[in-house]
Amino acid sequence: MGKSIINLNGITVSYNEIGKGSPIVLLHGFCGSNGYWDNVITKLSEHYRVIALDLPGHGESANLEGPVTIEDIADHIKDVLDYLNVPQVTMFGHSLGGYITLAFAEKFSQLVNGLSLIHSTAYPDSEEAKKGREAGVEKVKKEGISVFIDGLIPKLFSPDNIEKNQNDITTAKEIGYTTSSQGVMKTLIAMKNRPDRNSVLEKAEIPVLLIAGEKDQIIPSDKTFSVSKSNIKPVLIKDSGHMSMYENPTELINKMIEFMSTVK
């Protein structure tokens, strides 16, 4: 248990595993790593087997070969879970991790007993957002990863929290710098090309938790709360931007544990 690195199908995969009980998988956001979950994983591990992965090209995990889609990453996670002997899972996806969670639930619905989008959305990119992804690729090519990360990370936090979360912003930047340039560029294109997956939420019969930040500048709450059903619980975290695991971790942990009590 703890931080591990494995070689799976010739690809290096890094993850943090802690605790016993029903399995939870935590998928971090774009330019993050399993370190994004450091504030929540210990508490969750008191009750559950928690697996926090480094996504391909992020943290200490290697890139997948060739052009990459969100579906490719979902397939890769399935391989990792097979290796770890996880037959069924509750999946929590932050931002990019939410896009992957939806793709995973669509492809492997029998393996998922609950899912959560944290500061994420089932909607595809708007045309404007797609252009932004392409501009991001060009920025990384021309200016490198550090300049890209320095521009990205502060926007993830609520403007009201910039001062009090300076240490967390520094931590998130340091995590971001570990993302490979290829990982950033491949993931930007994967996000740009992802389809609308609101149908996954509409068809879901398992418990679903949708978490939005009251002051999220990246994904507003109406984009997160896209489907209303009796099995879907919307939660708005006050005083939080796109990074509640740093901005309001206690509230996030409470909502995750509360949600787990509804998962069978």
Asked: is 2-260 a CATH 3.30.465.10 domain? The reply is no
Question: Residue 1 pLDDT more than 70?
Answer: no
Question: Residue 257 pLDDT more than 90?
Answer: yes
- Contact call for residues 82 and 58 (beta carbons, < 8 A): no
Question: Residue 253 pLDDT more than 70?
Answer: yes
DSSP state of 67: S
Going from N- to C-terminal start, the domains of the chain cover: 2-260
Question: Residue 155 pLDDT more than 70?
Answer: yes
Question: Residue 49 pLDDT more than 90?
Answer: yes
pLDDT of the residue at 2: 86
> What is each CA distance from 135 to 108, 130, 149, 218, in whole angstroms?
33, 9, 14, 16
Q: What is the pLDDT of residues 82-131, one digit of tens each?
A: 999 999 999 999 999 999 999 999 999 999 999 999 999 999 999 999 99
